[in-house]
Structure 1
Amino acid sequence: PTTAPTTAPTTAPTTAPTTASTTTPTPALFFNEKVDLDVVKAIVEKAKSTPALAFKDVSKDSPNAKAIEVATRLGIITGYSDGSFHADATVTRAEFATMLLKALGLEAKDPSNFKDVKDHWASDAISGLKASSITNGYSDGTFKPNNSISRAEIAAMLAAVINPNLTKETKFKDILGNWAEAEINMLSDMGIVKGTVDGLFKPNANATRSEALLMILRMLNISLDFSLDIE
């Protein structure tokens, strides 16, 4: 009688099935886990269809006019009730906290963890940065919201948002030994902060509104593949 075939039955293919792409996505620059880059991108996308605000004291050829326009589209700033921006005015710690919170799309928190901002107009914004470990205030438990913010203080807050590859190489001749020296050096390497033509950073100088705004936008721009036209 006819014998059974000796050929083994066809086995399952030995080639592994095609798998999903193994390409590792480019990691987000923001290391702070409370900052969601997708939220930031959504804010930027919405800004494309948002009209910019015009300020009577900011002409198209004014320094940082581009940055100010982008910031109004992003909802970071609104200016003053009289239609002015006051680009060269100093910015308070409360004002900067509010600008930074909006730029990062973080949620405001209530109540505040600082004993001197409980009833302050920026209490929720300040608390939001505290909850995200972006600011810890002062050792006495205060935030000093109405004090003008220094350039070094801004550097410290921004360094608490982005990947902290701190460097000991001093970039400016007037920051050696400064409490925020490493943060300033890192932000300088990344192009987020810049000094004067004579090699100074002036860490203790009060930041102007346009300076503070530009530093925030430069930080965002790095994570957004430089898609913002700010300078």
Structure 2
Amino acid sequence: PTPTAPEPDEAAEATIEVEEEGSKLFSDLDGHWAAANINKLVVKGVITGYPDGQFKPENHITRAEFATVVIKAYQLQTPSGKVFNDTANHWARDYIATAAGAGLVNGYNATEFGPDDLITREQMAVMIVKVKQLKGTAFRITFTDAADIAAWAQESVATAIENNLITGYPDNTFRPKGQATRAEAVTLVVKSF
């Protein structure tokens, strides 16, 4: 018998259609450098846009928001971790507790996490290296502001750079204390898969 062509998979077609329509989900992503990465995580339900139909890729992202994105992206479900005093009534309490339980985040101290503080690039690098369980190496950071990277983040930043998860800027800076944008955060998570 001659084999016949398989019937198209309806689920695959639906996925393709959703992804193609994803580029039209937000009015502010046309031509944006991170549009494809943003659409990938939106389609997966990891992150959403705003009620006004925009994603606002250049807005900054908080520590709570980034922890939530990482937990959702990696579908982590661990025994509940530490609930900090400042996260007890926070919308992201369970995500932060899961991240703490998985060893991805620490607070500023035993009682404070700073969920609404804007996350820095070095903090994001540490979380991603931890979730990926990447081992540090002797990679040397050559950015002109490498000395500005906190001692607790240096190995993770070097590991993230070496693994092409995060990059610097055209002026040869890393800007470790720089507040990350939603676009940068999403791109880091997508690159980590």
Distance in 2 between residues matched to 1:109 and 1:146, nearest whole Å? 23
TM-aligned CA deviation for residue 93 of structure 1: 0.7
Q: Which has the larger radius of gyration?
A: 1
Is contact 2:103-2:130 (8 Å) kept? yes
2:177 is equivalent to residue 204 of structure 1: yes
In the alignment, which of 154, 160, 173 is matched to residue 181 of structure 1? 154
Aligned to 1:123: 93
Aligned to 2:18: 51
TM-aligned CA deviation for residue 173 of structure 1: 2.5
Query: Quick check: which one's helix share is greater?
Result: 2
Instruction: Summarize deviations over 1:171-217 as a string: whole Å, max 9, x none.
Output: 32212362211111111111000001221100000000000110011
What stretches of structure 1 of length at least 5 have no aligned partner? Answer: 1-44, 221-231
2:70 is equivalent to residue 94 of structure 1: no
Q: Among the aligned pairs, what percent are the same residue?
A: 30
**Cα root mean square deviation, aligned:** 2.1
Letter in 1 for 2:63: R
Instruction: Summarize deviations over 1:145-166 as a string: whole Å, max 9, x none.
Output: 0000000100111111123321
What stretches of structure 2 of length at least 5 have no aligned partner? Answer: 1-11
Letter in 1 for 2:94: D
Letter in 1 for 2:27: K
Give me the TM-score of the superposition, normalised by structure 2. Answer: 0.82
Aligned length: 174
2:103 is equivalent to residue 133 of structure 1: yes
Aligned to 1:20: none
Is contact 2:82-2:101 (8 Å) kept? no
Letter in 1 for 2:119: I
